[in-house]
Structure 1
């Protein structure tokens, strides 16, 4: 085994003078790297671009799968048959002399760039079963590695390694190749960190959408220009109603006088929460608009950005779901007893009907209604049925 510490380098080391890479190749790699941010499938093209810039015959971008130091998967590859990827992950990784030597010497540190011969001498590699029974299936022999990430920075990329290979009849990678990889490394790290951050955000948004789709009332999110950004499953189902058909398209900039829903949303964009009921009877549509203020720093003080985004809650008056009642209960700090009255109140039940449904006296219901009106800033039942026009904005 070679013990050449001088040739095992890190990303901070300056490239050698004759290690330039052509401007065209550098541009191709940069374009591939930053073009792949947020697109898993595009990283195969990234690996190809880097391999061609370094005159490699085979390349792979590997990550661990969380099952230990000897558990790996191929995130992206070029010129590497799928059967060989699978054979490596399932069996040959534990027989890889390069990996064992790297672990023993602790060189798998973020920024490390080294050649295979810096870690395992060529005669030792050729004598191994790993070389004779696995590597010669490509065939490959010479390796150049860059540790893009070692997973040590919380929230950024997981452990990630780029391996470049050349066929046995090709010359080994040299100091110029190491220097060229140094030139590419900062962009490799930056692009993959951006990619991984984007992926995490995409997963969080997807999880939020699945959560919103599980709700039994409609939710529509609108930007400050009152343009719909997202509608959950229940809102899309309600959108079959003519009054809601536009809410998956565009909201009128100048709402007509009879378009109460558009007026409600545009008022929310100005920071005025409110609600209304469209139509009559059990099929009447109940709508609650909540301004969403984004706090910005101005002169050292936080203030609300204008205009506001809006969250629109929608449901049928005849079957207002428990989720809406729970939302209003939490918003206004209603007691458990008051929360029991709220769903009946939102359905338009009279105090006598509420008392019969709850098995309490009418006087008890009236007392609870008075408390609800006081907490919500309304003065009579019909005000609250029209969905709490004094709802305060939600602040982010």
Structure 2
């Protein structure tokens, strides 16, 4: 990315009370902060010391910046941050000059003295009534995001200030910031992407917790990466089922449930019923991605494991059977009637269809589930055929 410094020339001051970090210290702080909002205050502390700045901030541009989803600052008083966020941003003569000159563009690096004279700054209410209270006079900054790419962060800028009486930021400082900019931008871009992913994942997990059946996501090493509330409660109630292994923390390494998960590693998936009728769990496993083979030749895959308690949720159990055996909608509507022991004639009357249609659909159900008659099919709620049922 090309950087466009605004030019000026003033010697750099070294602070007497702060150890000046090296460039490597700055880079280490930047990349160490990826994934942690709270760490960015420390990053700004390090970069501010590197530039001998007494205030630094990384904020969303515009009104209400203090209350935006991201805000980081060092040595900037809360009342000053609030005052700027609520009022003074509209009177910021430096920001106005940047925008007026078309300089609020991602990749822009510079200082205020290149676009506004000291006389203009000192004559403004913004300087007299706000900046002096910070206290701040000299400004240097860069634009990390101008808001043009919706996939990235909103318009954001990184700002550094020096107090009245200090020297302005030098050409060397501007060049140093331009040199650091690719790292600052990359580190924050990675942080923002991680942040968005975590927010989306949080929403996804909350939606899973609203379900009344269990959902677990298991990685290729058999570690459970997430178990929703229903899954944890079911597993706690079914602690006597040895085939659950170490759930909800990690999947079993042997037994039928383990073999079911192994079938997912081959891209097959399937279903199994665990426990005795009346106190059992339906478990259905589906591979989430194409299986991958390790250097040792073993297949592995991420798996979604779903759990249903048929005695507590017969409707969910029916849906489970429908999905497990790939029944059509027309076939699925016969299941509740089967469990009520209705005859094919009664089903045809209830659905207002020909009895031949019902018999055809029943034949399809029996073929898909591996059963031969109605009573065998009814026992699906206690033991899913074609897989096996396992006692305590």
Compute the TM-score of the two structures, normalised by the length of structure 2: 0.80
The 3-state SS of whatever aligns with 1:246 is coil
Q: Which one of the candidate residues 208, 216, 221 is aligned to 1:220?
A: 216
1:113 maps to 109
Does the CA-based 8 Å contact 2:216-2:228 persist in structure 1?
A: yes
- Looking at structure 2, the residues matched to 193 and 80 of structure 1 have their Cα atoms a distance apart, in angstroms, of 24
Structure 1 residue 306: Cα displacement: 3.1
**SS of residue matched to 1:163:** strand
Mapped pair 1:173 → 2:169 = yes
Aligned equivalent of 1:76, options 68, 72, 77: 72
Cα deviation, residue 378, structure 1: 3.3
Aligned to 2:235: 239
Query: Alignment partner of 1:267: what SS?
Result: helix
Of 307, 310, 323 in structure 1, the residue corresponding to residue 303 of structure 2 is 310
Change (3 A) 1:155 1:330: farther
Aligned-partner Cα distance in 2 for 1:123–1:93: 20
The residue aligned with 1:393 is none
Match status 1:27 vs 2:24: yes
Aligned partners of 2:304 and 2:129: how far apart in 1? 61
Q: Answer whether contact 2:344 2:358 (CA < 8 A) is retained.
A: no
Residue aligning to 2:54 = 57
Q: C-alpha displacement at 1:343, in angstroms?
A: 5.5
2:269 counterpart of 1:273: yes
State the Cα distance separating 1:260 from its structure 2 match.
Answer: 2.8
Which of 349, 356, 363 does residue 370 from structure 1 map onto?
Answer: 363
Alignment of 1:148 onto 2:144: yes
CA-to-aligned-CA distance 1:44-70 (integer Å, 9 cap, x gap)? 111111111011001111114xxxx55
Deviation of residue 217 (structure 1)? 0.8
Report the Cα distance in structure 1 between the residues aligned to 2:135 and 2:20, rounded to whole angstroms: 30
2:251 paired residue number = 251
Q: Does 1:129 align with 2:125?
A: yes
CA displacement at 1:323 relative to structure 2: 5.2
Matched, 1:320 2:313: yes
After TM superposition, the structure 1 = structure 2 runs for residues 290-369 of structure 1, keeping only pairs within 5 Å, are 290-294=286-290, 306-320=299-313, 322=315, 325-326=318-319, 329=322, 334-342=327-335, 350-352=341-343, 359=350, 366-369=359-362
In structure 1, list runs of 5 or more residues that go unmatched: 1-8, 298-304, 391-396
Contact 1:337 1:368 (C-alpha < 8 Å) held by counterparts: yes
Check if 1:46 corresponds to 2:38.
no
3-state SS of paired residue (2:58): strand
In structure 2, the partner of 1:3 is none
In 2 relative to 1, CA 100–24 (structure 1 residues): closer, same or farther, beyond 3 Å?
closer
Structure 2 SS opposite 1:247: coil
Whole-angstrom CA distance in 2 between matches of 1:14 and 1:129: 24
CA deviation after TM superposition for structure 1 residue 379, in Å: 3.9
1:159 to 155, 165, 174: 155
Matched, 1:11 2:8: no
2:288 aligned counterpart, secondary structure? strand
How far 1:30 sits from its partner (Å)? 0.9
The verdict on how the C-alpha distance between 1:171 and 1:13 changes in structure 2, with shifts beyond 3 A counting, is closer
1:108-150 per-residue CA deviation (whole Å, 9 max, x = no partner) reads 0111111111121111111111111111111110000111121
Change (3 A) 1:24 1:94: closer
Matches within 5 A, 1:92-107: 92-107=88-103
CA–CA distance in 1 between the matches of 2:252 and 2:273? 19
How many pairs were matched up? 361
- How big is the shift at 1:93? 0.8
Distance change >3 Å, CA 383–CA 78, structure 1 → 2: same
Structure 1: distance between partners of 2:345 and 2:226: 36
Deviation of residue 261 (structure 1)? 2.3
